[in-house]
């Protein structure tokens, strides 16, 4: 199993289902941002999982270097792009 295969294992974790449920039930018409805090080590895989489920995530970091590193780490957990799709994801 590649590193992206870990995302399938995440679906077995009840805490992740709780987080996804919270975001799913959020009312976007109220324009209230949804915040999530987690351990730094868990951020890439959690953000990748949420990006797959919801299509996009917005992550705010204090420094450009942190954002670039997190974007690269998230991409490691995402499934491979199919032929014909752009080679670099919009993760910045």
Round to whole Å and give the CA distance between 43 and 46: 5
What is the pLDDT, as a whole number, of residue 66? 92
What is the pLDDT, as a whole number, of residue 2? 60
Q: Which two tokens stand for residue 34?
A: 């949804």
What is the pLDDT, as a whole number, of residue 83? 54
What is the pLDDT, as a whole number, of residue 31? 64
pLDDT digits (tens, 9 = 90+) for 32-53: 667 778 888 888 888 888 888 8
**Domain extents in the chain:** 3-77
Round to whole Å and give the CA distance between 49 and 8: 9
What is the pLDDT, as a whole number, of residue 87? 44
Burial of 53 (0-12, 13-18, 19+ CB in 10 A): middle
Spell out, as residue ranges, where the chain has pLDDT lower than 70: 1-5, 26-33, 81-92
CA–CA distances in Å: residue 32 to residues 28, 64, 87 = 7, 25, 33
């Amino acid at each position: 199993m590649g590193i992206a295969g870990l995302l399938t294992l995440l679906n077995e974790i009840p805490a992740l289902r709780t987080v996804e449920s919270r975001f799913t039930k959020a009312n976007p018409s109220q324009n209230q941002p949804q915040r999530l805090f987690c351990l730094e080590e868990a951020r890439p895989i959690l953000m990748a999982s949420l990006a797959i489920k919801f299509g996009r995530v917005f992550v705010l970091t204090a420094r450009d270097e942190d954002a670039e590193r997190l974007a690269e780490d998230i991409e490691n957990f995402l499934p491979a792009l199919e032929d014909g799709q752009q080679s670099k994801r919009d993760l910045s």
